[in-house]
Chains A and B, each alone.
Chain A
Amino acid sequence: MINRRNLLQSGVGAGLALGVSGILPAWARSASEGNLGIPALSGKDFDLSISSFPVRINGKAGMATGINGSVPGPLVRFREGDDISVNVTNMLTEDTSIHWHGLLVPFQMDGVPGIAFPGIKPGETFNYKWNLAQNGTYWYHSHSGLQEQLGHYGPLIIDPKDADPVACDREYVLVLSDWSFESPHRIFSKLKKAGPTYNFQQRTVGDFFEDVSEKGFGQTLQDRAMWNQMRMSQTDWADVTAATYTYLINGRSTQDNWDALFVPGERVRLRIINGSAMSIFNFRIPGLAMTVVASDGLNVKPVETDEFQIGVAETYDVIVEPTEARAFAMVAESIDRSGQVVATLAPQQGMRAAPPEMREPVLLTMKDMGMGGMDHGAMPDMQNMDPAPMPGMEGMDHSMMPGMDHSAMPGMEGMDHSAMPGMEHGGMSGMEPMGSMDNLASGVERGPGVVGIAMNPVNRLDEPGQGLGNVDHRVLRYSQLRSLDRNPDLRAPEREIELHLTSNMERYMWSFDGVRFAHIKEPIKFYKGERLRLTMINDTMMPHPIHLHGMFFDVVNGGNDHKPRKHTIVVKPGEKLSVDISAEHVGDWAFHCHLLYHMHAGMMQVVSVLDEPNPYASSMPDMMNMEGMPMEGMDHSKMDHSGMSGMDMPNVNTGENK
């Protein structure tokens, strides 16, 4: 199946350009430097060395910490099933590590200091060894301190043992990343001191008057008052922005223009990896449709789209078939639209695609505040309300509650309202510290680190990437993804773990269930052989790319036995989503938000897969069968069972499925 007839490797077949300071490895070179498609080489033994070295980015000199003297590091490419050995030598004056992101290695080879191994000391060489029954596009990066931000990341490809079902004539790797000339510790400390430091898209007095002329004074005041009352910003898309970041594709800024060649009519495979520290990107190639063929290394049924959002640490493989002999812009725009990076896909060397104009930033919505389904459309009475009680939204309870989608939830018809004690009081300020709402999220430790719990989280898998709802072309939704292969484990989950993503932006505190990693009382325990459901509720105003080491998430998106399997999933603000997990590999595994500074602030845990008898086995009879049931025809977004199950009403889950 593999068709690489045009895979030209003139002069770059030497493979990994090891240890050449400041010179990009073959795969990351531009067309003008001889890269006509990445080398299809396999290796079994790799030598990587971690050091500090000067780099030139966007015409400016800086110091990087990286692998084999380049940012990004070399392409580690090998064949599925081979015995692999990687020697990693630490030339730094501090500890380092390499984590193989998405690889199902034995846990003691996973590379997380303090969890999987002690780390690599200065001067030491650590030997990673594994043999893997998986293939696809992955990456690797440091799991020590904040080294990732300094350039310590690189791409990794595992070629399938058998024929690759994805045929292409030529392939490239695109590593998206964010570079700052500020030290990462300085960035983190600034976020602690003054959260919106890097946000230069805040709402101003000018915007206020613009809104007034658009929406009228009353409505504008009402909207503003609501957000301000809750001390929430409608422009809080990214903590770190283009104010300090230069966005890169393969180590090149737009100005440095990374270019790739194609011959019109060819099928070109782009392996896109988001190796950023903090930047979620919107990726598109204006004028060229993309067919998504893999996500997070695993093949999916081909989906054609025009744009997709890629969370930090996610990967997407796409096929493009340019027929026109012109330069195309490959655009990665940061989620907050403060900046973008453009690379060129061209029929000739040395061409430069015209960067598209930056798109206008958009505003966060009520849904992002965890008040999904409470939008104006769903609640006609809101329009008629006296604006006076609006600001606090206190006092809205009664008028709003009837509008809360009951009609859209057939399964809930018979529900006694007294069964929802938490919904009657506490006010409607979705993110307020409400003592009376605690029963809706019993697992969350409330305190200074948790601003609030999402009132009415909803499943947003069927939405495009956050902020891409209004673009005039197709945007990939998680609900569109279907695994190409049948899922390996079709058991229904035996139990459910509910986890809240929590924060206080003002103090820059990030946590799971209100507990920063430094303060956990115990890890999350899985038991070998069990199948469980992890349900995540994002109580914060930001999307979080959540990554679990050593296991894949079977995303519960209506895909039945072809659920997409991912190592990292973006949980949108105000979203409640579920993934099913098979706990197979015994060990201690890191589990965290892949936004580097969120992890550093405490949004991390350890999942211990224990080789012990499972105390949960058969203790929960028919609790979880949602995804196994024939729900395909049902409109999840309208049913909103996800939002309701968060309200501790187990009978609702089973009720609506029968």
Chain B
Amino acid sequence: MRIKIVSTIAAGLALSSFTFGMPAFAQQEGNQQGTQTSEEPLWSQADAYYDAVEMAKAREEVLYEGGAQPTYYVLFNQLEAQSADGRDDLYWNGQAWYGGDINKIWLKTEGRSSLNNGDVEDAELQALYSRAIAPYWNVQAGLRHDFKPDGLDYAVIGMQGLAPYFFEIDVSAFLSTEGDVSARAEIEYDLLLTQRLILQPRIEANLSLQDVPERMLGAGLNNIDAGLRLRYEIKREFAPYIGVEWQGNFGDTKDFIQATGGETDKTVFVAGVRTWF
């Protein structure tokens, strides 16, 4: 299963491209480029004075530079140590994208490893095709692979964007290869205390459509992480933070955890860095 990652991602991209009936990513949004030569040029009066082939090349270039250039983005929204009752975890939550204004490849990763013994407990990667469908909203589809705990694969469909009042929203639904359906919602907000000191309330909730006892998940709301992080943007791109987060489980999920003698809810202190480039 582990070795299949690369092909999984590739398959995911192919799948999502197919789903949306979009051309390959490589073409990005410069739709002129491919067709320019075969069709009537959009304008060509300078061809009377200069070499037409040179002009055609320059024409493609100037069009490309007028809004078709791809950009990339890498964000570690959370890269932090979480500590509670003598137990320390490393938690990360990041994403990256590459593409034009409308079509992007979007990667998301989230996971946790113990700082006490180095064990990776959760680690997932989503590879998505993202398409802007409205000024503030992207629809995303692709695949998710859980490296930990159990190497499961999922199909993903989701929506990410900026809601009124500047709430950052990310909701996804997952269908595992076992046939289980689950969902996740993340909401966060930046409250500017000063131009650089920013308080970020953040909630992440996981839901499941059915009981999955082997993963200790009950139907309904599984768990909520509700955190408050205070960061200082030394540079916009680099902001260390401290914070506190309540992590609680609900319903059958809570019962499963209780049955194994685990903690059903706890409050952790966090310290980390938010960074992008």
Contact = CB atoms under 8 A, between A and B. Distances in A.
A606 B135 contact: no
Interface stretch (A202-210, A345-353, A480-488, A643-651): A202-210
Nearest to A233: B166
Interface stretch (B63-71, B108-116, B254-262): B63-71
Given A200-B195, A204-B193, A113 B62 contact: yes
B27 interface: no
Contacts of B165: 225, 228-229, 231
Given A201-B195, A506-B162, A114 B62 contact: yes
A145 to B, nearest CB: 7
Contact of B55 (A107, A114, A201): A114
B244 interface: no
Contact of B45 (A107, A392, A509, A600): A107
Contacts of A125: none
Nearest to B75: A193
Interface string B47-66: 01111001101111111111
B83 interface: no
Contacts of B134: 433, 448
B32 interface: yes
Determine which residue in B42, B55, B57, B65 has the highest number of CB atoms from chain A within 10 A of its CB, and name it. B65
A115 B43 contact: yes
B42 A114 contact: no
A517 B135 contact: no
Contacts of B276: 193-194
Contact of A228 (B32, B44, B71, B164): B164
A506 B62 contact: no
Give the residue among A107, A116, A392 with the most B Cβ atoms within 10 A.
A116
A194 B50 contact: no
Contacts of A205: 191-193
Contacts of B194: 204, 206
Given A231-B162, A519-B31, A118 B133 contact: no
Contacts of B240: none
A564 interface: no
A206 B32 contact: no
Interface in B1-51: 29-32, 42-46, 48-51
Contacts of A451: 135
Interface string B175-195: 000000000000000011111
Nearest to B33: A518
A229 B48 CA distance: 53
Contact of A586 (B45, B54, B132): B45
Contacts of B46: 107-108, 115-118, 587-588
B246 interface: no
A448 B44 CA distance: 30
B62 A519 contact: no
A202 B66 contact: no
Nearest to B54: A118
Q: How big is chain B's contact interface, by range? A: 35 or more
A599 B69 CA distance: 12
Nearest to B51: A118
B101 A448 contact: yes
A520 B59 CA distance: 13
A600 B67 CA distance: 6
B102 interface: yes
B148 interface: no
A204 B66 contact: no
A117 B59 contact: no
Contacts of B132: 447-448, 507
Given A231-B164, A231-B166, A506 B135 contact: yes
Given A448-B102, A518-B66, A608-B43, A506 B136 contact: yes
A509 B67 contact: yes
Interface in B68-109: 68-69, 71-73, 101-102
A193 B69 CA distance: 13
Contacts of A297: none
A192 interface: yes
A302 interface: no
B266 interface: no
Given A518-B30, A518-B64, A448 B59 contact: no
Contacts of B57: 118
Contacts of B51: 118
B67 A601 contact: yes
Nearest to B194: A204
A339 interface: no
Interface string A1-41: 00000000000000000000000000000000000000000
A189 interface: yes
Given A114-B58, A205-B192, A448-B134, A516 B71 contact: no
A529 interface: no
Interface in A563-587: 586-587
Contacts of A206: 193-194
A122 interface: no
Contacts of A522: 42
B63 A518 contact: yes
A587 B44 CA distance: 9
A588 B43 contact: yes
B139 to A, nearest CB: 11
A203 B62 CA distance: 38
A205 B135 CA distance: 27
A382 interface: no
B58 A189 contact: no
Nearest to A196: B236
A511 B66 CA distance: 9
Interface string B210-221: 000000000000
A154 B50 CA distance: 26
Nearest to A452: B135
Interface in A144-195: 145, 189-190, 192-194
B45 A517 contact: no
A283 to B, nearest CB: 27
B58 A504 contact: no
Contacts of B50: 108, 117-118
B138 to A, nearest CB: 8
16 contacts: A112-B62, A117-B49, A117-B58, A190-B236, A192-B71, A193-B71, A200-B195, A205-B192, A433-B135, A448-B101, A448-B132, A509-B101, A517-B63, A518-B65, A588-B46, A608-B45
- 10 nearest A-B pairs in the assembled complex, by CB-CB distance: A602-B67, A517-B66, A114-B62, A516-B67, A448-B132, A518-B68, A114-B58, A118-B54, A108-B49, A518-B67
Given A203-B192, A520-B42, A606-B43, 11 more contacts: A114-B60, A115-B59, A116-B46, A117-B49, A118-B46, A145-B65, A190-B236, A448-B101, A449-B135, A518-B32, A523-B42
Interface of A: 107-108, 112-119, 145, 189-190, 192-194, 197, 200-206, 225, 228-231, 392, 433, 447-452, 504, 506-507, 509-511, 516-523, 586-588, 599-602, 604, 606, 608
